[in-house]
Chains A and B, each alone.
Chain A
Amino acid sequence: AQKVTQAQTEISVVEKEDVTLDCVYETRDTTYYLFWYKQPPSGELVFLIRRNSFDEQNEISGRYSWNFQKSTSSFNFTITASQVVDSAVYFCALSALGTSYDKVIFGPGTSLSVIP
């Protein structure tokens, strides 16, 4: 079975603090993709990053960075020097070639509040 766990339901940080959002996944497939999406208060999920199972290099994009570790089945997301605009619900998601269609498994989401 495929599953995505985001153990942190809600996180509050003060502006400029660093924050890490955890994501743990389960799959038996050897080829899969992991995603992070952001859902701001406006409601529209926005794609942030995709990672394939063969690429464990960490990635940095501005204040955002992602740490993919197959050994622990984790794909954590860190925001450095958080800003109020980072307040949103963040979803980690998994898709695998073993499925018969484009099914994506979403985690329950982590609600991040950045306090000024």
Chain B
Amino acid sequence: DVKVTQSSRYLVKRTGEKVFLECVQDMDHENMFWYRQDPGLGLRLIYFSYDVKMKEKGDIPEGYSVSREKKERFSLILESASTNQTSMYLCASSLYRASSYNEQFFGPGTRLTVL
């Protein structure tokens, strides 16, 4: 079974702090994604990566950056956390690049609160 793990289930940070959210997948998937989930808005794509050191902006990249130094690990970085970044953050992976056929495999999510 594919397993996607996220470093924290719950995180509380203060405004202005730098925040790192880590995601690891164990099935050699090419694609990795970061979403945020907010009530009534569904899942919105922040960034995705289809290869090591490659990244593409999603729908809402402002205020975020990402890093993919190894194939299995994809990090989301909030350079200076703000209260409007309080949300549930979901990491996902899928097998092949540029294939709309792929289902995505999700981690359990990190609920981030910025005070």
List the A residue with the shortest CB-CB distance to B97: A102
- A residues contacting the other copy or chain, number (CB 8 A): 29
- B residues contacting the other copy or chain, number (CB 8 A): 30
> Could you give 27 example pairs across A and B, Cβ below 8 Å?
A32-B100, A33-B100, A42-B108, A43-B109, A44-B107, A44-B109, A45-B90, A45-B106, A47-B103, A47-B104, A50-B101, A50-B103, A91-B42, A91-B43, A95-B100, A96-B100, A101-B48, A101-B50, A101-B56, A102-B31, A102-B50, A102-B99, A102-B100, A102-B102, A106-B42, A106-B43, A108-B42
List residues of chain A with CB under 8 Å of any chain B CB: 4, 9, 31-33, 35, 37, 42-47, 50, 52, 91, 95-97, 99-104, 106-109
List the 3 closest pairs (A to B, CB-CB), nearest first.
A95-B100, A45-B106, A43-B109
